[in-house]
């Protein structure tokens, strides 16, 4: 019963595919490698950065469903590189996804906290070490997110990425502070003698 005027059949894609398409949606023709760099640049602060090989396969899939188009160009050195761009159908599909797809709740897998939760099986010094590392890494991430924020602020039309980068700075700063407070709680627990034994 299909006829020509129907809207295009919706393709169900994982959020990672939309993230990759989103990178293309900022308008430039990009190689898989460059998509990866963009992901590293900003996406990683709020959305797990996919592996290189997955980016290549997502790009291939996006092209198959018509949301991206690729062409082979020769780089400065004459070697061929494949660049991808979002298509009109891709832009429409992304808009539709934003407008209508149910929003998955944030998924968190917090390795350091998992360790603390099992603290009764560990040496308290090891727990301190784990949480301290997490605190310091969070501080680094906050600083890096702030750089990304400044970079976004310098580009016109990047107001939303700038907002998200601002959120990311606050998020990782909060993570740093939460880790610091957890460290205090840990110290207090050990000092009080209420820590369950190994």
Partner DNA sequence: CGTTGCATGTAAGGTGTTACATGATTAC
Partner DNA sequence: GTAATCATGTAACACCTTACATGCAACG
List residues binding a copy of itself (CB under 8 A): 15, 18-19, 22, 25, 42-43, 46-48, 91, 94-95, 98-99, 103-123, 126, 130, 133-134, 137, 157, 159-161, 163-164, 166-167, 170-171, 174-175, 178, 181-182, 185-186, 189, 194-196, 198
> Shortest Cβ distance from residue 64 to DNA (Å)?
12
The number of beta carbons lying within 10 Å of the beta carbon of residue 158 is 16
94 binds, among DNA, a copy of itself, none (CB under 5 to 8 A by kind): a copy of itself
Site string for DNA, 80-119 (x = CB under 7 A): -xxx------------------------------------
> Shortest Cβ distance from residue 31 to DNA (Å)?
3
Burial track 28-61 (b if 16+ CB lie within 10 A, e otherwise)? eebbbebbbebbebbbebebebbeeeebbebbeb
User: Which of 13-21, 85-93, 125-133, 171-179 is the region at the interface with DNA (rule: CB under 7 A)?
Assistant: 13-21
Which residues share a beta bridge with 30? 84
d(CA 3, CA 6): 6
The pair of structure tokens assigned to 179 is: 């880790």
d(CA 187, CA 119): 13
d(CA 179, CA 141): 14
Site string for DNA, 17-56 (x = CB under 7 A): --------------xxxx--x----------x-xxxxx-x
User: Which of 6-14, 94-102, 129-137, 172-180 is the region at the interface with DNA (rule: CB under 7 A)?
Assistant: 6-14
Length of the chain in terms of residues written = 198
Total residues contacting DNA (rule CB under 7 A)? 25
What does DSSP assign to residue 27?
S
> Shortest Cβ distance from residue 185 to DNA (Å)?
28
State how far the alpha carbon of 191 is from the alpha carbons of 29, 56, 133, 184, 197, in Å: 58, 52, 21, 10, 13
Where does this chain bind DNA (CB under 7 A)? 12-16, 31-34, 37, 48, 50-54, 56-57, 60, 75, 77, 79, 81-83
């Amino acid at each position: 019963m299909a006829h020509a005027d129907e809207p295009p059949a919706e393709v169900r894609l994982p959020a990672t595919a939309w993230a990759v398409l989103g990178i293309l949606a900022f308008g430039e023709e990009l190689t898989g490698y460059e998509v990866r760099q963009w992901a590293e640049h900003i996406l990683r602060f709020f959305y797990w950065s996919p592996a290189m090989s997955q980016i290549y396969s997502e790009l291939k899939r996006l092209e198959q469903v018509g949301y991206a188009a690729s062409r082979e160009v020769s780089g400065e050195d004459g070697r061929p590189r494949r660049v991808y761009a979002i298509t009109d159908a891709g832009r429409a599909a992304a808009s539709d996804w934003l407008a209508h797809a149910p929003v998955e709740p944030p998924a968190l897998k917090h390795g350091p906290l998992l360790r603390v939760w099992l603290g009764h099986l560990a040496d308290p010094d090891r727990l301190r070490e784990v949480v301290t590392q997490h605190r310091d890494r969070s501080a680094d991430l906050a600083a890096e997110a702030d750089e990304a924020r400044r970079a976004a602020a310098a580009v016109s039309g990047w107001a939303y990425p700038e907002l998200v980068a601002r959120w990311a700075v606050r998020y990782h700063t909060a993570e740093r502070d939460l880790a610091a407070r957890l460290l205090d709680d840990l110290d207090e627990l050990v000092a009080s003698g209420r820590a369950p034994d190994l």
